[in-house]
Chains A and B, each alone.
Chain A
Amino acid sequence: MCNLEKYDEIFVDVFSIEEKNLNENIVRGAVKDWDSLGHVKLITTIEDVFNIMFDTEDILEFDSYDKGKEILKKYNITV
């Protein structure tokens, strides 16, 4: 499974979003389950799957599907 597939699968599982709907419109506030508890689940799952440890500011700035991809680059993960 490539990084993009892994990344997409996390969003599908955590927020029950269909894969075909994953795009730039997936942002915090617009997704029903992306509240603080949803964010905990999203971030801890991404850390688990990609074996990384986010810095505090990255956890706070991770507010969209696209932004997440950008942040992951800092950890040498290209999605």
Chain B
Amino acid sequence: MASGKLRNLSIRGIICALPDNKVLTVSRENVFGKETVDKIIESTGITSTYRVLPRQTASDLCFHAAENLIKKLNWNKEDIGILIFTSHAPDYKRPATACVLQGRLGFSQDCMAFDIGLGCSGFVYGMSVIGSIMQNPDIKKGLLLMGDMSSVSTDPDTTNNLLFGDCGAAVAIERNEECEDIDFLLKTDGTRYQSLLAVGGGYRHQNNHNDYCYMDGNNVFSFSISDVVKTIKEFMDSWDICTEDIDMLALHQANSLIMKNIAKKCKISLDKVPISINHYGNTSSSSIPLAIVDSLLRNNIQKKEKYRVIASGYGLGLSWGVMNFVLESSMKVGMLYTKTYFDDGHYGEGEENV
């Protein structure tokens, strides 16, 4: 079983960065028609999304979030021993975007950096991986970055495009001998990989340049309200967690009906479930940190000194997982908006004029 316990780790802060480009869902009526847009808003609750600007990428959003978080925490960059970038929207086919970010952020050569190529399960997988590596006491501080730009990776001519927004998030993790354990349970079912698939853009079909992500809505939906629920229940049973022990159920923000359905089946009160999809859409790997930050900043969750959180992400792969952790109210949180991008000196057709 892919489960485990992580000791002596605290989450010191979470910052989310959004592109400074808010798009109201109703503004897409000219493309999809009023009836369709109204139906999407009614069935998903998504009234707006934030979309990357020309040349801006997921790593730019993560860079901005990371810089701000390090500054807020007053961390010395030399102390950061690990950087993980979780995304299905890398800057380049090679090298790993985490390496580029390590250089841009000015981290020392003693910082390991690598990518995890997952989507909506990226937060729980990323936390589990970085936490496992940080069980090595030599690594005192780590940074988990998650970012995607699904507004670009879904076909703009389909209504699926209305469901997605872009965001980058940075989570700061530090070794701390006086904190509660983090538990995790991770799963994969590659037999259903075609449920969410971009056929082109890789090496399997080199002549196919269509890299828009295709989604089999039924498969993804049934997976979300069946397999995911079973896994959350399995996790809670395994680690002997009662619903009363939970202050927050932070779910991947795929669809508000799905989230409500999961919470109900897990017998967790809806007022403990941050729902931010209406403001941002589905932001893939960053949707869980974004929902947490949004709820804390809006005071949508009952104020406490400590929040006992269960988080569950699920998507591409199919890949899903559950974890629990404690958030201290003293941790740094923030939400930023940015127009910036990394000018790497390479220009494609038309890019030099942007």
Q: Report A's interface with B, CB cutoff 8 A.
A: 33, 35-41, 43-44, 47-48, 53-57, 59-60
Contact = CB atoms under 8 A, between A and B. Distances in A.
A37 B217 contact: yes
A40 B261 CA distance: 10
Given A37-B40, A37-B44, A44 B225 contact: yes
A44 B227 contact: no
Contacts of A47: 225, 261, 265
B258 interface: yes
Contacts of A60: 218-219, 222
A55 B39 contact: no
Contacts of B260: 44
A39 B257 contact: no
Given A53-B229, A56-B226, A44 B218 contact: no
B40 A54 contact: no
Contacts of A59: 218, 221-222, 225-226
Chain B at the A interface: mostly helix, strand, loop or mixed?
Answer: helix
B217 A39 contact: yes
B39 A33 contact: yes
Interface of B: 39-40, 43-44, 217-219, 221-223, 225-227, 229, 255, 257-258, 260-261, 264-265
8 closest pairs, A vs B, by CB? A36-B217, A59-B222, A56-B226, A37-B43, A56-B222, A44-B261, A44-B257, A40-B221
Contacts of A53: 225-226, 229, 265
A37 B229 CA distance: 19
Nearest to A39: B218
A40 B229 contact: no
Nearest to B43: A37
B221 A39 contact: yes
Nearest to B222: A59
B224 to A, nearest CB: 9
Nearest to A57: B222
Contact of A56 (B227, B257, B264, B265): B227
A39 B227 CA distance: 17
A21 B220 CA distance: 30
Given A35-B217, A48-B264, A59-B218, A41 B43 contact: yes
Given A48-B261, A55-B226, A59-B218, 13 more contacts: A36-B217, A37-B40, A37-B217, A37-B255, A38-B43, A39-B218, A40-B255, A40-B258, A43-B225, A44-B257, A53-B226, A57-B222, A59-B222
